[in-house]
A and B are shown apart, each in its own frame.
Chain A
């Protein structure tokens, strides 16, 4: 039924302010005049059709025909151009495009000719449909989505009959055994997946290359390791670190690894900065540093991006991913952004030759939080 034309009957106007009691339900109609004027406008039916220029004027139709044909021909030209460009243009050739800049000539030519080839077909077809194909709209009737009542009833009957004739209700053993089998059959598929996806983390997230190689008994040697420049892989003298400078640091030996280098880097990366010792507000920070040189984990405690931006003047470290800001003068406390915990500090000192070395590993897990990080 046409919802607009649905005759609604009712004799009383629902009064404002009485929504609770007087408002009419959606299907109970609205407001009805009683004096012969219908309560709703009726659908006026289709307006008279207005013919297009191409329907009335043969010349316009011919013009449209030429345009359509021209567009299809343009497509052919585009395709030919694509083939020519593919073979003729060197893949390293560059071309300057105003407004865009230097571009790879082959890439540009292939893109534009391909677009011509496609747009010619598309625009031609649409223009054809709009100018020469029938433009009188046609009407198709809808039918309610709902099936007839007897069909719906029959559906239930068929199911019931099927269950009955299969003895489903009379033989509960089959029913429950099948239920159990169906409930469990996915296990052989799922188990190897769950079991084989990856190893258990163990204490892996809580240790890094700074802890040294794990011993047989599961403990770590926590050696003193030299701080090496990344990527030069050279040791750093304390005297090289001037106030305001920042070094990207890896533990000694990490950059020589053959395997698993990225995995180790992801936890062991360190930033080394030198501050005026008077600027440092935390005693622990001073103690773990060396003459104002401090080393902090470079891995953000938010979601693990490298904290790559160091503001020399303010001594702020900024994570470029989500803008967590750490204040190096306050033991890398979070002063803005979504991170909660400060960056872990690496205790350092110098060895006999004047190179900076670690005094042990990080005292907590680096990087993003995880459930059991505090208990490790």
Chain B
């Protein structure tokens, strides 16, 4: 056996003939693993699956950590929340406080509030756990929100990941409901006012409002049922759904493999990155501790929700500047913006759309629109292929614009929830601020869409210019005729690839409206809207440089101002596409064409205007 493996050509090798092969003893670590892992594997045959998971490759990018932040914050919430249940008493039952916080001693309050004070002042380390729980909850929702931004703007939600996007949207909605429920539990004046408002929201549900409110609160507001009920939702019902959906979310990620950003060597068929063992085990595992550590540090340094300062809940007093936690801000802002005339009375019945629209409709509407977005985009683009490569946001200007418009609308609602604070801090009239937001809700998103799209197109044009003309080297070269020009260094092929890898725009084609016999096609009528939207989607598209365009740019000889002069060499069809000043095909690109030496404009053509070069 060993003789076969050694080449017998060299004399020295013959000396080894007849040697017995060395049987390598398993290393100590392997033996040990064999002991424990072997015991488990004997009973589960898990080795194969675990091996596969340990060897799994994950791509690396800082933005992929955003989801991790959400995941780890959620775990921190679960851990710290489990500890808080040891001391928290979910009861609205009346008690008199006799703990160590002097200002409230002797005051009547609910057991929930008293036990929260107890956690904050009398249990050593209780306050840090409470603060970690609250900060982790905020971090969870911030993390998942920014994670959604990343997924949205890079198009990671495209097939086959629409399902995971929908799951993620549900998770996001559940997270803020979970947050609201938890925020309400201490039964302090601020959160109690939040529940009061929530009761008002429920009352305005058409027809069944008062019945619904009495069912939820177990009678008149506030009653003694709402705290235990919110508690059961907060620690059992919603977390169970949250963890279940989150698990599905992660399993699907593993199943579909992670998306990756485009780059040299990265294709739609592979995934390039590091293996779980050891790199991601250390990086992701370490990152859990970093997230936890940062939360602990914030919790130690910055007090959030000092419930002792608010006092116990009472329906009569109120504090100025009453606001919910930030993630409920947009709904609260909507309530502040909706005008009162949206309440109607007819036949003795009252329909309060001024409340119901903001409180009952907005939240589900936002998350339905969010969840439905991938299906809308697929309908517009007609793209039914699997996508595992992310898009750079600039390469999909319309989507990026829509995303920014959405964020802007959200922000208007969000900042509207602080209109009173802004009025005080900025010394402005609250009425003016509210009106600016009311109008801004309709104006700002449109502006944001337009500005974002223009920025994306400009960035794409700059990419084109970089590919076509390279980098300015700073070296001035004098020509034989005494002219000067600056030498441009070409990009290397790896940098270039990132700028040219994306797909050219391809709007939907409208099928013929009538067949050859003049019979109208019903499908065409149905598709007309779709084609229109698709045209709007791809309007002004800037396409990546093609090799032909690059060749044409280089052909000019100066390597610098490649397409400045009208192209006049032979063999090019469609010369009008490139003749300086004549205008390419991209409607939008003509706009900047008047610039006398605007190099990019000459090559910057719209859809389907690549040069057709015959050589």
Measured CB to CB, the residues of A under 8 A from B are 1-5, 13-17, 19-21, 23-28, 30-31, 33-41, 43-47, 86, 91-92, 97, 100, 103-104, 106-112, 114-126, 128-130, 133-135, 137-142, 144-145, 194, 197-201, 204-205, 230, 248, 250, 260, 262-263, 265-267, 269, 298-299, 302-306, 308-309, 320-324, 334, 336-341, 367-375
Contact = CB atoms under 8 A, between A and B. Distances in A.
A118 to B, nearest CB: 3
B510 to A, nearest CB: 5
Interface string B280-291: 101101111111
B388 A133 contact: no
Contacts of A119: 289-290, 293-294, 297
A12 to B, nearest CB: 9
Nearest to A260: B220
A129 B278 contact: yes
A368 B282 contact: no
B569 interface: no
Given A16-B608, A125-B286, A107 B127 contact: yes
A140 B57 contact: yes
Interface in B469-496: 493-494, 496
Interface residues of B, number: 159
B309 interface: no
Contact of B270 (A36, A107, A140, A197): A140
Given A133-B278, A303-B359, A110 B128 contact: yes
A367 B611 CA distance: 71
Contacts of A130: 283
A145 B256 contact: yes
The CB with the most chain A CB atoms within 10 A, among B127, B342, B546, B608, is that of B608
Contacts of B222: 262-263, 266
Given A119-B297, A308-B317, 19 more contacts: A4-B268, A13-B574, A13-B612, A14-B608, A23-B508, A33-B612, A35-B612, A41-B500, A91-B122, A114-B128, A115-B300, A138-B57, A139-B271, A205-B220, A302-B354, A320-B318, A320-B321, A338-B338, A369-B204
Interface in B307-329: 313-322
Contact of A128 (B208, B211, B282): B282
A292 to B, nearest CB: 24
B264 A45 contact: yes
B507 interface: yes
A126 B283 contact: yes
A4 B349 contact: no
A369 B265 contact: no
Contacts of A13: 574, 608-610, 612
A266 B313 CA distance: 11
Given A25-B382, A44-B494, A125 B289 contact: yes
Contact of B496 (A41, A144, A336, A340): A41
Contacts of A31: 504, 546, 608-610, 612
Contact of B279 (A39, A134, A299, A302): A134
A41 to B, nearest CB: 5
A24 B338 CA distance: 45
Which 6 residue pairs are nearest across A and B when measured between Cβ atoms?
A: A111-B300, A125-B286, A303-B200, A122-B289, A118-B293, A16-B585
B102 to A, nearest CB: 10
Given A31-B546, A111-B301, A371 B208 contact: yes
Given A121-B289, A197-B218, A142 B388 contact: yes
A246 to B, nearest CB: 13
A304 B386 CA distance: 51
B289 A340 contact: no
B567 to A, nearest CB: 15
Given A139-B271, A367-B200, A133 B282 contact: yes
A323 B336 contact: yes
A255 B76 CA distance: 43
A248 B293 contact: no
A28 B201 CA distance: 52
Contact of A118 (B216, B279, B292, B609): B292
B267 A43 contact: yes
A145 to B, nearest CB: 4
Interface in B340-355: 340-343, 345, 348-352, 354-355
A121 B283 CA distance: 11
Interface string B194-235: 001101110111111111011111111111010000000000
Contact of A1 (B209, B256, B269): B269
Nearest to A112: B300
B510 A21 contact: yes
B316 A338 contact: no
A368 B301 contact: no
Contacts of A140: 56-57, 257, 270-272
A159 B585 CA distance: 54
A43 B292 contact: no
Contacts of B606: 16
Contacts of A367: 200, 203
A230 B434 CA distance: 33
A326 to B, nearest CB: 11
Contact of A338 (B100, B160, B213, B337): B337
